[in-house]
Structure 1
């Protein structure tokens, strides 16, 4: 049995189960400011703590939704390692994405992954679909929920 076939068989047994929970990461104002500069999205609700405290219902600045989403890769590093025979992993995109709760500066986030589907696209590519929930410490509602596609590429 090939490495891909072994990985497929093992993953099929995990469909519907939680396959990883990452470590917590603090999203502080410095991280938000750096993301704002990088993406050229310096809207005041993200980068002006004084104004955001006065003029928003959030009590201060909030992280960009795309900053929260961009942490998905870091959360995946905590939860997944290369499979036997795998030579690389590729972010293949999202099927669904919803931002459910703003992330206030200073919040801690973590990612929770549940395997939704897996299939072999060809002799070298295994496509995994995970439901990713990014949780905010102390909040019942998550920051976001997404259906994330990841391609595991195996040796030919």
Structure 2
């Protein structure tokens, strides 16, 4: 399966960052307190959690591939998240930044029982910046529909 594409831009808002902090029980002021950031942060504004940027990859992938990489019981199988290799948080995402992701297939390795281990390169860009926010190799196990009871 070939996975390629680029998502639309989204704006990273303070409410997104703060909600992520609430959900993960991590209320670090570098991310959640604009007043604190004005006087204490080298960025002068809150920055997104790196894991928030990472978690947005699912949204970006569906947007970039127009849901072509979404398995159903009517398709030939399902992509199961298998993890990441080489995750790097290269540049901080500031509140108000626009980000998008691009994806490209790197490899497909046949495994037992008709499964295929797919490696997809992911890069999260920040509008008007030369460095990406994030780079990673995202691994998926493509599982045939019949092997998951469909």
**TM-score normalised to structure 1 length:** 0.83
Which of residues 103, 108, 123 in structure 2 aligns to 1:118?
A: 108
Q: Is the 8 A contact 2:122 2:138 kept in 1?
A: yes
**Pairing 1:61–2:46 present:** yes
What are the equivalent positions in structure 2 for 1:3-22 lying under 5 Å apart? Answer: 7=1, 11=2, 19-22=4-7
Which whole-Å deviations, capped at 9, do the CAs of 1:89-120 have from their partners, x for residues lacking one?
A: 21110111110000000111111112111122
RMSD between superposed Cα atoms in Å: 1.7
| Helix, strand or coil at the partner of 1:62 | coil
Provide the residue aligned with 2:82 in structure 1.
Answer: 92
**1:10-63 Cα distance to aligned partner (Å, 9 max, x none):** x4xxxxxx8110111111000000000000110000011011021111120000
Q: Is residue 86–residue 152 contact of structure 1 (8 Å, CA) maintained in 2?
A: no
> Kindly tell me: are residues 134 and 20 of structure 1, through their superposed partners in 2, closer, same or farther at Cα, counting changes over 3 Å?
same
Q: Structure 1 residue aligned with 2:117, among 127, 138, 146?
A: 127
Unaligned runs of 5+ in 1: 1-6, 12-17
Secondary structure in 2 aligned to 1:75?
Answer: helix
How far apart are residue 135 of structure 1 and its match? 0.5
Contact 1:133 1:144 in 2 (8 A): yes
Runs of 4+ in 1 over 3 A off after TM superposition: 82-85
Output the CA distance in 1 between the equivalents of 2:76 and 2:35.
49
Q: Secondary structure at the match of 2:109?
A: strand
Equivalent residue pairs, number: 141
Q: TM-score, normalised by structure 2?
A: 0.87
2:2 counterpart of 1:23: no
